[in-house]
Structure 1
Amino acid sequence: MAPAAQEAAFTAAELDIADELGVQLVRFVRLINKAKSQVAKQGPDGIERAAYAILFHLIHDGPQRTSKLAEALHAEISTISRQSSALVQHGLVERQADPEDGRACLLAPTAEGLRVFEENRKKRNLWLAEVLAEWPEEDRQTLNELLDRLNSGIERHIPHVADHGSAQAKGADA
C-alpha cells in the first residue's frame, strides 16, 4: 500500500496515538541504551556485552550457524564470528558439526554458557523488579500482556526493504 493510501486508512486520532507511541518508544529505547551503557561494555568475564545476544539466541533458538545468527541479530557475519569466538574461548559456546552438512559447524551453548546466561538473567530480573516495585500487580501483568501484543504486531508488520528508507527518515524526525 502506498504511504498516502496507508495514511488515509487511519483517522487523525489513530495517527496521533501512533505518534505518541513512537515518541514513547524512542524514549524507551534511549533509556534502555543508557541503562546498558551504565553497565561496563565488557562483563566481568571480559566478554563484550553484545556477545551475550548470541548466547541468548543459542539458548532460546537452539544451535545455529554463524550466518543464521548474523541474520537474526541484523549483524555482519564477521562481527558474529569475532564475538562467537570470544564466547568459545571463554567456554560459554562450543562448535558442533552440522548434522545436515559436515563441512559446516553449529554454535551451541555449553553448561557454563547456560549458567552465565541465567546469572545475567537474574540480575536483569532484579533490576526490572526494582523498576516496577511501586506498580500494582495488575499493572505489571497488563504491561506484559500489552508488550507481548505490541511485539507480535511488530513481528507481523516488519517494514519491507522498499519501505525502509522512508521509515528511517520518519524515525529521524521523532
Structure 2
Amino acid sequence: MAAQSQYAELARQLSAIGAVKRDLAKILPAHCPAGSAAVLTLLDRHGEMRMSRLAELLAVDMSVTSRHVAHVAERGWIDRAPDPGDRRSRILRLNPAGRALLEELSERYAATLAGALDDWSDDEVGQLNTMLARLRDSFGDCRARAPHHFEQDGGSEARTPAVPVRPVRPASPVTPATPA
C-alpha cells in the first residue's frame, strides 16, 4: 500500500487536473459550451434517454439539465420525442447534426492533446490512459450512482463534466480514460 504522503500528492495532482480540463474546455466553439458538449457526449455514449437519466449522468439538478437540453435542441443537435411509456416525458436522441459536432469536438481535443503532449512517447500516453482508466475503475462509474460522502468534508459537489469528448476506441487493448 502506498504511503500517506503519496496519496496526499495524488490528491494535489488530481486537483491540478482541473486546470488542464479548463484549458481543454477553451477549445470549444462559442456556440457549444461545456454543458452542451457533455449532453451530446452522454447521449452518444449511452444512447437515447429521458431527461431524468441525463441529469443523473451529468450529476447536476434537473433545472441545469433542462437548460443544457434546451440549448442543444435549439441548435438542432438532438431530437426530443414523446416517451411511449409516459407521454409527459420526452426521449432525447442525438441526431446526425449532433454527431457531426461531436466528431469536430473530438478532433479538436485530440489535436490539442497531441500538441500539448508532443514530447511524450506513444508508450507514455498509453500508460497514462491505462492508469487513468484504472483510477476510474477503482472509483466505479461515479455518475451512475449517488456521490460519495466523505467524513471530512461532509459530501462532494456535483459538477458538469468540463471536458466532454467522445471515447476513442483504439485497436490496441489499451482503453483511454474518458472525461469524468
TM-score range, shorter chain: 0.7 to 0.9
Please report the TM-score for the alignment, with normalisation by the length of structure 2.
0.75
* Higher RCO by CA contacts (8 Å cutoff, separation 6 or greater): 2
Check if 1:78 corresponds to 2:78.
no
List alignment gaps of at least 5 residues for structure 2: 157-180
Superposition CA RMSD, Å: 2.3
Partner Cα distance (1:156, 1:81) in 2: 23
- Of 126, 145, 155, the residue aligned with 1:141 is 126
The structure with more helix, counted as a fraction of residues = 1
Aligned to 1:161: 149
- Of 86, 93, 109, the residue aligned with 2:78 is 93
Partner Cα distance (1:105, 1:60) in 2: 18
List structure 1 segments (4+ residues) > 6 angstroms apart after TM superposition.
Answer: none
Please report the TM-score for the alignment, with normalisation by the length of structure 1.
0.77
Partner Cα distance (1:23, 1:110) in 2: 39
Partner Cα distance (1:119, 1:167) in 2: 36
Give aligned-pair identity as a percent.
Answer: 25
What is the Cα deviation at residue 163 of structure 1? 4.0
Matches within 5 A, 1:1-174: 13-36=2-25, 38-39=26-27, 43-44=29-30, 46-155=31-140, 160-161=148-149, 163=151, 165-166=153-154
CA contact (8 A) 2:81 2:90 kept: yes
What is the Cα deviation at residue 123 of structure 1? 0.4
What is the Cα deviation at residue 149 of structure 1? 0.3
Q: Report the AA paired with residue 4 of structure 2.
A: L
List alignment gaps of at least 5 residues for structure 1: 1-9, 169-174
CA contact (8 A) 1:63 1:106 kept: yes
CA contact (8 A) 1:48 1:83 kept: no
